Each structure stands twice: as structure tokens, then as C-alpha cells.
Amino acid sequence: MILKLLTHVSRVLVGLLFIYSGFVKLVDPIGSQFKFEEYFSESVLNIEFLIPFALPFSILLIVAELALGVMLLVGYKPKLTVWSLFGLNLIFLFLTWYSYTYNKVTDCGCFGDAIKLTPKETFYKNIIFMVFIIILIIGLKHVKSVISSKFALITSMASIVISLLIVNHVLNHLPIIDFRAYSVGTDIADGMEYKGDGEIPPIHDFMIETDDGDQLEPMLAKEKAMLVIMYNFEKTEQKGIAAVANVTKEAKNKGYEVYVLTASYIEDLEAIQKEYNLPYSFGFCDETALKTAIRANPGIITVEKGIIVGKWNWTDADDVVLK
């Protein structure tokens, strides 16, 4: 009786945790891609040959995490589900142990940008949930389908299909929920302010460095400004440059001050500026800050008196709202 109760409690807790953890990453899979690229880098696990596969690996892991949570709750293929959860949590346990022990990747991204945990907190969280998963393994006979096996099958398959549809939408546009510090409605200046609690402000390393110095403060004072983000020109979608060029010309005609931010060498972009007759000059900014600001390359952000009022992927350049 006690084992059965513990199994049911563990089933609900583990299922809900994996669904939540999967969902907050599902709405922003590129964030997980960046995180795995960091893990694969030379300074961390030194398996750089896996970096090109960071995005598909992230998608696979995210969809598996959410789907397994659903499968556990509805009771679809209990043995496969529970042992898969055990294996998945082993991966998380290793990554968070490594981060905690060697002070690498100080934010593992286990809950995306929705909840920030230290490596130590995340490591112990995974240990606790491993205990719950072991209880599920011991009490596997008590994990049964709810309602019917057919319902469990349909629900599980639906979770996978819906997850993939969401991923496809997000990759072609922007995250459907923005948990980051640069979400629409954010006052950039306020986000950069130190509050006196010793914490680093959510917006930091953000700048518009030009030959004339940092233009961030002048930008924040503008009535209307547009930020075009091309964080790494080698990875910038070439089709996106033309799309962005069209909307920035329209923005200039409507009185917007246009700033292009990149972490690439400015000199490398001068040819592009001439080719597309772009009506602006380039400014340098930290690559991580730009990746955090918008999950698009190129991407468009509109700002009014320092407040972010709109964000678009280049694929949605025709939908940019200009006042």
C-alpha cells in the first residue's frame, strides 16, 4: 500500500516536472541550442564536433522530455517510459554535476529562461527527482493506463505532434513566450540598473559601440528607434538581409533612428552595406547579449524612449509595425 502511494505521488511529480521543463524550453529551442553549444565547446566538454548538431539534439531532448512526462501521467508503455526518464535524468544529472563541480556553464538552462537555478541547486534537484524515478522503477507494476490504453496512445502521440508543430513555428518566427530580459514592454535602462542587492542586472553587456563611442544612451533617448540584430554575419540568413533592408528604409522614412548591432568585425559587413544600399551604420555588441535579445539572425527590435515595443524575425519583416 505504501509503495503504491509513493509510486502515484512520484508519477504525478515527475510527470508534471518533465512536462513543465520541456514546455518552457519548447517555446524557445534556440536557447537550448546555444546552451548545448556551450557544453560542447572546447572550454567545457571539448566535443566541438557535436556543435553542428546542437539544434537537432536540443529539439530531440526537449520533445522527449515533454512527451515522456505526458506518457507517464497517462500510463502509456510504463516500462519504456520510466526507464527512458531514468536515462534522460542521468544525462541531466551528469551535466549539472559537471557544471557544479567544475564551475562550467553556470546556468544549465534546465528550465529555459523561465526559472534560473544555480548549478548546485539544479544538481540537487536532479538527485531528488532521481529518487522519485527509482521509486517508479520499484513500483512499476502500479503505473497503469488511465481511462484506457487507446486514450494513453492518442494522448502521447498528440503530445509529440503538437510539440513538433510548436518547434517548427518558433524556429520560423520567434519564441511564443519570451522569458528573457528583452521581452516586449521592457524598459532597457531599468533592466540595466544595479538594485544594490549585489545581483548582476538582467540586461548587461549591452552596447552600441561605434567609432564615435557607445551610442546606447542616445538610442534610449530617441522617440523611435529600430535595432537590427545580426549577431554573427557568417551565420546570418542572406535572404533576411534583403528583407530587413526594405523595412529599415521604410523605418527611416518614418523618422526611426536605425542601429545595426553585430558581434562580427564591422569591416566584414561594409560590402553588404554597399550591396543592399543599407541606410545605416553598424555598431558592435557582445554576441551573447545579442543572442539573448532576440532569437533571430537577422532580427528586428523597435524601441520607443528606451522601451521595447516590438520584436520580429526577418521572416516576419513585412509584419513589422511602424508608427
- Cβ-contact 164, 63 below 8 angstroms: yes
pLDDT of residue 282: 81
Task: Look at residues 263, 223, 266, 227 and name the one whose alpha carbon lies nearest to residue 244.
Answer: 227
303 three-state secondary structure: strand
> 290-294 long-range CB contacts below 8 Å, 24 or more apart?
290/229, 290/231, 290/261, 290/262, 290/263, 291/34, 291/231, 292/180, 292/181, 292/182, 293/180, 293/182, 293/206, 293/227, 293/229, 294/174, 294/182, 294/229
* CA–CA gap between residue 246 and residue 307 (Å, rounded): 23
* CA–CA gap between residue 280 and residue 229 (Å, rounded): 13
pLDDT of residue 266: 61
Please list the ranges in the chain whose pLDDT falls under 50: none
pTM higher than 0.75 for the full model?
yes
pLDDT of residue 42: 83
pLDDT of residue 285: 93
